Amino acid sequence: MSAEQTASVAESPTRETSESEILYRVEGAVATLTINRPNRMNTISRRMLEELSARLLEADQDSEVRVIVLTGAGRAFCAGLDIQDAVAGTGIGAKTATVTPTLDLRNAPPIVLHQIDTPTLCALNGGAAGYGFDLALGCDIRIAVAGAKLSAAFTKRGLLPESGGTWLLPRMLGWAKAAELVFTGRTLRAEEALELGLVNRVVEPGELESATAELAREIADNAPLAVQAAKRMMRAGLSEEFADHVHHVFLQLLPLFQTEDFREGLSSFLEKRPPEFKGR
């Protein structure tokens, strides 16, 4: 992000219109991205996916942002494919859609979400189905409102979890539980998802905003470079051998020793005061 763009972020933290399918707001160190098609249960469109990737990258590149919150407008988080548009031949999944011989998914939301270093927190304000289910799983942490449903109903629609679910679920649940969930296309209540470990906590609807803000602040209060490095190494560890990973972590640790935040962490501990990290 250029200096001019960064200045624009600082001067105008809320950049959205009623037509935006992704609302973007920055408050303090937290960027909130809100999926904004409430009249269609936040089902996906091509424009929405383009906006979502762009906003995720914008937040990740903003040095002032330490946590990204992803949520939905209205009563659903994201109900997945817009079946009405698909059947009408005007949306994603339409029978008349052009099939290209090669796919460039480098800027697709699931890949962007997986690769950015800023911690991501999903505030599940309602149901998450299909693409929305995968999108929620792609975030680092999930808080769900009581009564929200998480639906892996891909096979019931003649599809498979196409946006990260087949990679994420076996790692989160183990093979057998992931296989049962995917093969049956089962829908889980928030409380069942909590028992399985797919969400971190379940709160009452009126408590979602405050619970999300509290957790986001707790993360944002820590040294951002260290949090980002930890996330980067956790991601790398999913595909590395242990010895290689330890070596990789050590190489990440060395530059952290040189940061102002490391010195601030030591000083604040010795002085018995809360640290004030600058991200430097």
Q: For 153-183, how does the pLDDT look when each residue is reduced to its tens digit (9 = 90+)?
A: 887 777 777 788 889 999 999 999 999 999 9
Place of tokens 């956790």: 234
CATH 3.90.226.10 location in the chain: 3-220
Return contacts of 246-252, CB within 8 angstroms, 24+ apart: none
- CATH number given to 224-270: 1.10.12
CATH 1.10.12 placement within the chain: 224-270
The helix (H) or strand (E) run that includes residue 68 is strand 67-72
Task: Dig out the tokens for 107 from the structure.
Answer: 């800027």
| Numbers of helices and strands, H then E, in the chain | 12, 10
Tens of pLDDT, residue by residue over 232-246, are 999 999 999 999 999
pLDDT confidence bin for 217, thresholds 50/70/90: very high
Backbone torsion region of residue 44, taken as left when φ is above 0, otherwise alpha when ψ lies between -120 and 50, otherwise beta: beta
pLDDT of residue 110: 87
pLDDT band at 101 (very low <50, low <70, confident <90, very high): low
Q: What is the mean pLDDT of residues 60-69?
A: 95
Position 157 scores a pLDDT of 77
Quick one: pLDDT at residue 261? 93
**Predicted TM-score (pTM) of this structure:** 0.84
134 exposed, middle or buried (CB, 10 Å; 0-12, 13-18, 19+)?
Answer: buried
The two tokens of residue 91 are: 């949306």
Distance CA 21, CA 42 (A): 9
The confidence band for 102, taking pLDDT boundaries of 50, 70 and 90, is: low
The predicted pLDDT at position 68 comes to 97
Model confidence at 218: pLDDT above 70: yes
CATH superfamily of 3-220: 2-enoyl-CoA Hydratase; Chain A, domain 1 (3.90.226.10)
The closest of 27, 116, 136, 150 to 72, measured between CA atoms, is: 136
Q: Residues 83-88: what's their mean pLDDT?
A: 53
**Band of the pLDDT at 142, cuts 50, 70, 90?**
very high
Q: 259 in the Ramachandran plot: left (φ > 0), alpha (ψ -120 to 50) or beta?
A: beta
